[in-house]
Amino acid sequence: MSLRLDFNAPDFEQSFAAFLTTKREVSADVDAIAAEIIARIQAEGDAALIDYTKRFDHLDLSETGIAVTEAEIDAAVASVDPETYAALELAHERITAHHARQMPSDDRYTDAIGVELGSRWTAIEAVGLYVPGGTASYPSSVLMNAVPAKVAGVERLVITVPSPRGELNPLVLAAARLVGVSEIYRVGGAQAVAALAYGTETIAPVAKIVGPGNAFVAAAKRRVFGTVGIDMIAGPSEVLIIADGNNDPAWLAADMIAQAEHDTGAQSILITDDATLADAVEAEMERQIARLPRGETAAASWRDFGAVIVVPDLEDAVPLANRIAAEHLELAMDDAEAFIPKIRNAGAIFVGRHTPEVIGDYVGGTNHVLPTARSARFSSGLTVLDFVKRTSILKLGPDQLRAIGPAAIALARAENLDGHAASVAIRLNMES
Amino acid sequence: MSLRLDFNAPDFEQSFAAFLTTKREVSADVDAIAAEIIARIQAEGDAALIDYTKRFDHLDLSETGIAVTEAEIDAAVASVDPETYAALELAHERITAHHARQMPSDDRYTDAIGVELGSRWTAIEAVGLYVPGGTASYPSSVLMNAVPAKVAGVERLVITVPSPRGELNPLVLAAARLVGVSEIYRVGGAQAVAALAYGTETIAPVAKIVGPGNAFVAAAKRRVFGTVGIDMIAGPSEVLIIADGNNDPAWLAADMIAQAEHDTGAQSILITDDATLADAVEAEMERQIARLPRGETAAASWRDFGAVIVVPDLEDAVPLANRIAAEHLELAMDDAEAFIPKIRNAGAIFVGRHTPEVIGDYVGGTNHVLPTARSARFSSGLTVLDFVKRTSILKLGPDQLRAIGPAAIALARAENLDGHAASVAIRLNMES
């Protein structure tokens, strides 16, 4: 059974604190294997890539080629049914429009004593996007990761996607074509991450790698971090719904299940001030899960990690929500708008009863790559900012150096860095 | 001898590529020790903190207390000489003024079909700043790390600083007081990082840890990442100077040495189109290093990692500089301003002959925490953005859900996520 917590119970704080520290990830010992794979790709390049792909994906790249061809992408696009393709286009258009607003502005100014200062933003030159294979090969993830990179101005955008027994998801190729991805390679796992980071004869190295993947991909990304940039390592997904009594329990149950069907490690949490609604949602979930194709996954997620918290007043939900720091937060209540400013920690907020979280997964326009496992306390969802970097600019003339140079000399001396002091003093004809 | 590369030599590309991959960090095997320390702090809290501090810092915290007292900070501030204190104040003022311009703006708008979208920025609630002890205990680093946090609106800003045999740098305490740090604890090493991440009886946990440290601190930060946020793990510092022939070699030599005196792993690189200047700079460096207190460190850095690259034309420096992606880039040339747009990858640019990099270390106003080891290709120096996080906002009414909901259903079905499709369909009275 999922957890049920009563705010007024004497052990509530203790139970809630324990709930917050629940681990939802399987910690497989995959790091050593990832390290070995990376070392072989570095040493042997394409040959190792071909070998691993034979072993793990049962595919001979020496026959198919490592790169997916334009003809294959053309065929994939042609095979997508028109309704789905139109949905993909709408999603692409809406995500692009939203992310275009995120581009940071350069800043250059002169202060009161004539020092010029500035910040200049430039796009990362080359980015690799890891796309999982098989059932987790989601076209929506391609859009969510690739669009911000494209908006940022990344010139070279490379996809790696494993192709078990040669199969590729046509929608993934169609999404890549829509965004304008430069290159697609049919490789996956730690070997794909290593190829992106260090390069092989076929795949030129990139400067940053983003995108979801299994434990081997995550371990490889951690290992190549420093050589290249990486995005956050995402954990299982979660939703928190704060609901008043005026809700259709079937709607809320559907939203809880949409989260739970992702993964047995996913988490759905309901906080409400209406115990009757809580019961109704739980009953509805049972009914809906029974007829769901991924019902077993949803049932396991709900049983192991689901929770319902009944509070005396919705105000009491505020500190709890800020401690949970949910990836997705639905505000299903009368004046949801007034509730927004109370929320400090959340990846994304879905406001009101007509904004199911699923809209944000696909076509809302906001990004669905969001901080999981309470990391919304210190990090943000994917944005254009993840694909640009900032260079600071400082410019002094002789007058400005005379004005603030002596203070730099004083601090350098206080830190026993006499060479630092000398580099300023020599320009001021001072003794260092 | 430092490396000398000639652009016109037949093996230049090969030598330059090898130069780019030079490792400058000692890879000590400290991870297992860091893991053990973290586990003990988690299990035993203050008791373990006291024990480790006895062992590593030769200090009995049960006598001194873990927290530095207000009286100690008062005494430290009183002991600082007025000139140095005034320099610290000037630095604080200038760094604050520059970083205040970096605060991102919230965005909230309604699109053509009535969907409301937004981005809301909030400060991280609690941040820990690690300050090294001993000779590397720099007041300038306290300012550079703490000011952006303060500008961002971080309420609780905690410093940990080891206090070997009870010693604390009064300037570090004075800088902490200037910025308005909330709490200071006299602990260091992996044990301080663990205490900040997991909390002890005395130290409440924070949500993010920033600041430089030795190999144990870096290993501990990598390990607690996920539970808390961390900043980048900085490597040894580096400077690249691009210089025309119109320079005083003594000035350039002083700047090269200011970098080299930091650390035997530091790196100073000169690119010039004037071979005579290159010779003169090298000769000047030898002269200046001979009379420098930290001359041995500078000499080792210069010998092992220093480089001079002579190019036929300064234009040839552009691609090399973008591949080096230096932490610090000095443009010591006639029209330095015109050179800025050519530079894509650099942590900070110091424009013109009167802007030695050292000004940026202390009083320029820009941050001195910058990406090292070529990571300016994909990352940025420390900014206010590192202390805020973004929550995205999405709000639909029934009309908007009718307009874009069907596309979400189509994509969810294409991804075999029927629970996702159902969560939208149930609100549209559609079959899922």
Q: Model confidence over B355-406: pLDDT tens digits?
A: 999 999 999 999 999 999 999 999 999 999 999 999 999 999 999 999 999 9
Which residue matches tokens 């259709």?
A248
pLDDT band at B24 (very low <50, low <70, confident <90, very high): confident
User: Which residue from A257, A245, A247, A244 is spatially nearest to A285, judged by alpha carbons?
Assistant: A257
Phi then psi dihedrals of residue B5, to 5 deg = -115, 135
The token pair that represents A126 in the structure block:
């080359």
Select which of A261, A284, A327, A357 is catalytic: A327
Nearest residue of A to residue B383, measured between CA atoms: A390
Interchain proximity A362–B407, CB inside 8 Å = yes
Are A315 and A401 contained in the same domain? no
The C-alpha of B299 sits at a distance from chain A's nearest C-alpha, in angstroms, of: 12
Closest CA to B361 of B137, B24, B160, B95: B95
Q: Does A214 belong to an annotated binding site?
A: yes
pLDDT at B191 over 90: yes
Looking at A194-203, B7-16, B146-155, B317-326, which range is the least confident one? Answer: B7-16
Q: Which tokens hold the place of A338?
A: 């007034």
Mutant choice from B391, B426, B428 vs A, greatest count of A C-beta within 10 A: B391
Q: Which amino acid appears at position A321 of this protein? A: A
B257 and B220 housed in the same domain:
no
CATH code of the domain covering residue A417: 1.20.5.1300
Nearest 5°: the CA angle B269, B274, B279 is 65
**pLDDT, position B220:** 94
Q: What pLDDT does A264 receive?
A: 92
**Taking CB atoms and an 8 Å limit, are B394 and A420 in contact across chains?**
no
Q: Does A117 contact B86 at a Cβ distance shorter than 8 Å? A: no
**Closest-approach residue (CA) in chain A for B331:** A395
pLDDT bracket for residue A128 (50, 70, 90): very high
Q: Assess if residue B21 is contained within a domain.
A: no
Please state, in angstroms and rounded to a whole number, the distance separating the CA atoms of residues B53 and B227.
Answer: 24
- Could you tell me the pLDDT band of residue B235, with boundaries at 50, 70 and 90? confident
- Please report the beta strands in B174-266, taking only residues with DSSP state E, as ranges in sequence order: 183-185, 208-210, 229-230, 238-243
User: Looking at A251-364, which runs of residues are DSSP E strands?
Assistant: 267-272, 307-310, 328-332, 348-351
Residues A151 and A203 in one domain: yes
Q: Are residue A338 and residue A402 in the same domain, yes or no?
A: no
For the question of residue A327 being annotated catalytic, the response is yes
Instruction: Report pLDDT digits (tens) over B162-183.
Output: 999 999 999 999 999 999 998 9
Q: What is the DSSP string of A216-241?
A: HHHHHHHHHBTTBEE-------EEEE
For residues A194 and A90, membership in a common domain is answered with yes
The residue of chain B nearest to residue A262, with distances taken between CA atoms, is B417
The shortest CB-CB distance from A362 to any of B229, B367, B412 is to B412
Question: Which chain B residues are Cβ-neighbours of A226 within 8 angstroms?
Answer: 233, 373, 375
Which pLDDT value is given to residue A431?
Answer: 65
Looking at the fold, whether B155 and B184 belong to one and the same domain comes out as yes
Task: Tell me: pLDDT of A295 over 60.
Answer: yes
Residue B118 Cα, gap to closest chain A Cα (Å): 8
Residue B202 buriedness (CB in 10 A; 0-12 / 13-18 / 19+):
middle
Q: Is A99 a catalytic residue?
A: no
Interval A222-249 mean pLDDT: 92
B426 contact residues in A (CB cutoff 8 A):
250-251, 254
N- to C-terminal Cα separation, chain A: 73
A386 occurs within a structural domain: no
Any binding-site annotation on B119?
Answer: no
In this complex, do A418 and B349 lie within 8 Å of one another by their Cβ atoms?
no
Those residues with Cβ within 8 angstroms of residue A185's Cβ, 6 or more apart along the chain or in another chain: A66, A67, A68, A158, A159, A160, A161, A192, A195, A202, A203
B42 labelled as ligand-binding?
A: no
**Domain match, B212 and B291 both:** no
> Nearest Cβ partner of B408 from A109, A359, A381?
A359
**Are B393 and A351 within 8 A, CB to CB?**
yes
A368-395: pLDDT as tens digits: 999 999 999 999 999 999 999 999 999 9
Does B344 contact A262 at a Cβ distance shorter than 8 Å? Answer: no
Percentage of residues in chain B with pLDDT exceeding 70? 98
With beta carbons less than 8 A apart as the criterion, state whether A394 and B364 touch. Answer: yes
What is the residue range of A293's domain?
A: 3-25+235-364
* Cα distance between the two ends of chain B: 73
A334 is in an annotated binding site: no
User: Of the ranges A143-157, B13-27, B226-240, B250-264, which one carries the lowest mean pLDDT score?
Assistant: B13-27
pLDDT for residue B23 is more than 80: no
Does any domain span residue B8?
A: no
> Is the confidence at residue A1, as pLDDT, over 80?
no
Is B85 labelled as part of a ligand binding site? no
B120–A254 C-beta distance less than 8 A? no
CA–CA dist A410, A419 (Å, integer): 12
pLDDT value at B429 more than 70: yes
Beta strands in A313-383 (DSSP E): 328-332, 348-351
- A225 and A239 part of one domain: no
Residues A178 and A44 grouped into a single domain: yes
Given B215, B230, B245, the domain boundary residue is B230
What integer pLDDT is reported at residue A121 of this predicted model?
98
Provide the pLDDT for residue A135. 74
* Residue A125 DSSP one-character state: S
Q: What is the mean pLDDT of residues B186-206?
A: 97
Number of structural domains in chain B: 3
Interface test with A, best of B417, B430, B432 (most A CBs within 10 A): B417
Residue of B120, B138, B395 lying closest to A415 (CB–CB): B138
Query: A250 CA to chain B: closest CA distance, Å?
Result: 8
The three-class DSSP label of residue B389 is strand
pLDDT of residue A25: 63
Please list, in sequence order, all residues whose beta carbon lies within 8 angstroms of the beta carbon of residue A290, skipping any fewer than 6 positions away.
none
Lowest mean pLDDT among A83-97, A337-351, B27-41, B51-65: B27-41
pLDDT, position A28: 58
Q: Cβ–Cβ contacts within 10 Å for residue B227, how many?
A: 20
CB distance B358 to A424 below 8 Å: yes
Q: Is B102 annotated as a binding residue?
A: no
* B273 CA: distance to closest CA in chain A (Å): 22
Whether residue B246 is predicted with pLDDT greater than 90 in this model: the reply is yes
- Is A183 a domain residue? yes
Residues B9 and B15 sit within 8 Å (Cβ to Cβ): yes
> Are the C-beta atoms of A428 and A399 separated by less than 8 Å?
no
Of A200, A230, A260, which residue constitutes the final position of a domain?
A230
> Token pair of A393, please?
């600019």
A138·B208 Cβ contact <8 A: no
- Was A362 annotated as part of a binding site? no
The answer to whether A377 contacts B125, with C-beta atoms less than 8 Å apart, is yes
Among candidates A84, A226, A350 on the partner chain, residue whose Cβ is nearest the Cβ of B411: A84
Return the pLDDT at B49: 98
Closest Cα to residue A137, out of A184, A98, A194? Answer: A184
Per-residue pLDDT, A236 = 87
Pairwise CB contact (< 8 Å): A254 & B422: yes
Among residues A27, A312, A18, A52, the alpha carbon closest in space to that of A163 is found at A52
Q: Cβ of A258 and B422 within 8 Å?
A: yes
**Of B284, B327, B330, B357, which residue is the catalytic one?**
B327
Residue that is last in its domain, among A173, A196, A230? A230
State chain B's mean pLDDT as an integer. 95
CA distances from A346 to A215, A223, A238, A329, A330 (A): 25, 28, 11, 7, 10
Judge whether B87 lies within some domain. yes
Same-domain check for residues B145 and B248: no
Nearest to B267 by CA among B277, B275, B259: B259
Asked if B354 lies within 8 A of A412 by C-beta distance, the reply is no
How far CA A288 is from CA of A108, A258, A423, B4, in Å, comes to: 57, 11, 72, 72
From chain A, the residues in CB contact with B371 under 8 A are 389
Q: How far is the C-alpha of A213 from the C-alpha of A373, rounded, in Å?
A: 16
Helix-helix angle B82-100:A398-414, to 10 degrees: 120
> What pLDDT, on a 0 to 100 scale, did the predictor assign at position B430?
80
Decide if pLDDT at A234 tops 90. Answer: no
Contacts of A422 (CB under 8 A, 6+ apart): A432, B254, B257, B258, B288, B292
Mean pLDDT, all residues of chain A: 95
Of B420, B426, B428, which to mutate for an interface test with A (greatest number of A Cβ within 10 Å)?
B420
- What is d(CA B1, CA B181) in angstroms, rounded to the nearest whole number? 45
From B241's Cα to the closest Cα of chain A, the distance in A is: 13
Q: What is the CATH number of the domain that holds A58?
A: 3.40.50.1980
Which stretch, A19-33, A394-408, B122-136, has highest mean pLDDT? A394-408
**A375 inside domain:** no
Rounded Cα distance between B112 and B156, Å, is 41
Of B270, B304, B297, residue with least CA distance to B284: B270
Q: Give CA–CA dist A199/B166, Å, rounded.
A: 50
A408 in a structural domain = yes
Chain B residues lying within 8 Å of A383, measured CB to CB: 119, 390
Q: Based on the fold, state whether residues A210 and A255 are members of the same structural domain.
A: no
Residues B159 and B215 occupy one common structural domain: yes
